[in-house]
Amino acid sequence: MTRIGLIGGMSWESTSIYYSLLNRLTAERFGAWRQPLVLIDSLNFQEIVALQASNDWDATGELLVDSAQRLERAGASVLAIAANTMHMNYDVVNNSVSLPVIDIRDAILQELRARGSTALSLLGTKYVMENDFFASYLRAEGIRVVVPDDAAIEELHQIIFGELTRGIVTQASRERFIEIADQCRDAGGDVVGLCCTEFGMLIDESRAPFACIDSTIAHVNALLSFYDG
């Protein structure tokens, strides 16, 4: 029986969303009270944030590898890094275990293809938007990637770390997010990528004023494709 392993705590707000979605979507597909077997290894986000700020991605990779190997030893049969930004370390994590590690970038790509779209507004942390590990993955598959200007990148980063990862959701930030998303859409990013696992706290994918993909939902759906009931 499938046992899903989550490398979590980045932040705990988004990890709780993963857990909720895994259970809710499993019940919707397989019947009431059907719950997936889930193992969560929750990391200390304060340590991760400090290493991100100092650009020490080797050190974050070591933390994630340790987490992945703990989950493998605990009996997980499929793994996920429950954070977009930490897919910076996807390759080293994937190479450290014998289990499939479901890539959130691939989950977004498959959702884009299902919608017949080839252009994405990439919105997330500044690490996601400014580094190449996310955009290059999508561009290699023929996706046009649009990111905001530098000022908007900093605004979104502040909304994530100053508010969402602390459980704070404001109407002002929601409205500003929509403005930035609209600017990216005007620049050709037809579908808005909610490529921060906390952005679903601001924007409901099903009720958004534009076409969008919530990366957390896409990632959970990809994980559940391995679920054998």
Q: What angle do CA 130, 131, 137 make, to 5 degrees?
A: 120
Ranges in the chain, pLDDT < 70: 229
Please tell me the predicted confidence (pLDDT) of residue 90. 98
pLDDT at 229: 63
What is the tens place of the pLDDT at every residue in 162-177? 999 999 999 999 999 9
Q: What does the block give as tokens for 148?
A: 């905001």
Q: Which of 167, 177, 188 is nearest to 214 (CA)?
A: 177
Tell me what pLDDT residue 211 has.
Answer: 96
Amino acid at 198: E
Given a contact cutoff of 8 angstroms between Cβ atoms, the answer to whether 200 and 5 are in contact is no
| pLDDT for res 1 | 79
3-state secondary structure 75-86: CCCEEEECCCHH
Q: What angle do CA 25, 227, 214 make, to 5 degrees?
A: 45
Statement: the pTM of the whole predicted model exceeds 0.75: yes
| Nearest Cα to Cα of residue 95 among 59, 132, 65 | 65
Full set of structural domains in the chain with CATH: 3-104+218-224 (3.40.50.1860), 105-215 (3.40.50.1860)
